Amino acid sequence: MHRLGITPWESNRIPPALTNIAGGPSHAGIALDLGCGTGAHAAHLAESGWEVIGADVSRHAIAHARARSTRVDWRVVDITRETNALDDLAGRVDLLLDVGCLHGLSDIGHQRWAHVANLVATPNAQALVWATPPRGMPYRFGPRGISPTKVRALLGRTWFELDDRPDPDWYHYRRRP
């Protein structure tokens, strides 16, 4: 999609769910943006004082992201296949961000996403995820979606849900210490 220039999800508007965390009291740790695309959210976090790693499978998107900001560690990574590309972040990430990547992954991709989340997160880390529910079959365009039950199952045991979700498509979790 990035290569074809078809990126309907793109907007430079930073969602309040993220600005609240970016400038909040526990701000300025290490953040990992999974499926960062062209990097608007990662760049915003970097400008807010965070040390940020932005990972995306698309070289095209990361090229745009690099042009957007030099303050982020941009990486071309398929998070469902190259999980060891993020091994250097093990136990170091205070904020895991995913705006629209998880809900497009396969079932195996979900498991690998959860593996990455659990690998990189510090105790007490936050996870902020925007994911839409399944749209039913057959879906031709757009993400397949992921149910709240599935998101909770992926993060459920080692994370707990915070009750400040601005709307049902946002998930805000904290890792258990």
Ligand X SMILES: C[S@@+](CC[C@H](N)C(=O)[O-])C[C@H]1O[C@@H](n2cnc3c(N)ncnc32)[C@H](O)[C@@H]1O
Binding positions for ligand X, rule: CB under 6 A: 2, 9-10, 35-37, 40-41, 55-58, 61, 77-80, 99-101, 104
- Of 11 and 25, nearer to ligand X (C-beta) is 11
Whole-number minimum distance, CB 119 to ligand X, in Å? 15
- Residue 118 CB, nearest approach to ligand X (Å): 17
Cα distance between residue 34 and residue 100, in whole Å: 9
- Residue 38's alpha-carbon distances to 3, 10, 61, 155, in angstroms, are 12, 8, 5, 26
Shortest distance in whole angstroms from residue 90 CB to ligand X: 18
Q: Smallest distance, Å, CB 69 to ligand X?
A: 14
Give the residue among 119, 114, 115, 125 at the shortest CA–CA distance from 30: 125
Question: Which of 58/69 has CB closer to ligand X?
Answer: 58
CB of 122 to ligand X, least distance (A): 21
**Cβ proximity to ligand X, 44 vs 175, nearer residue:** 44
Choice between 57 and 119, CB closer to ligand X: 57
Which CB sits closer to ligand X, 29 or 35? 35
CB of 176 to ligand X, least distance (A): 26
- Exposure on the CB side of residue 62, measured as CA atoms within 13 A: 17
How many whole angstroms separate alpha carbon 74 and alpha carbon 131? 22
Closer residue to ligand X, CB minimum distance, 145 or 156: 145
Centroid of chain to Cα 81: 16
Distance from C-alpha of 88 to C-alpha of 42, rounded to nearest angstrom: 18
How many secondary structure helices (H) and strands (E) does the chain include? Answer: 5, 7
Whether the Cβ atoms of residue 151 and residue 114 lie closer than 8 Å to each other: no
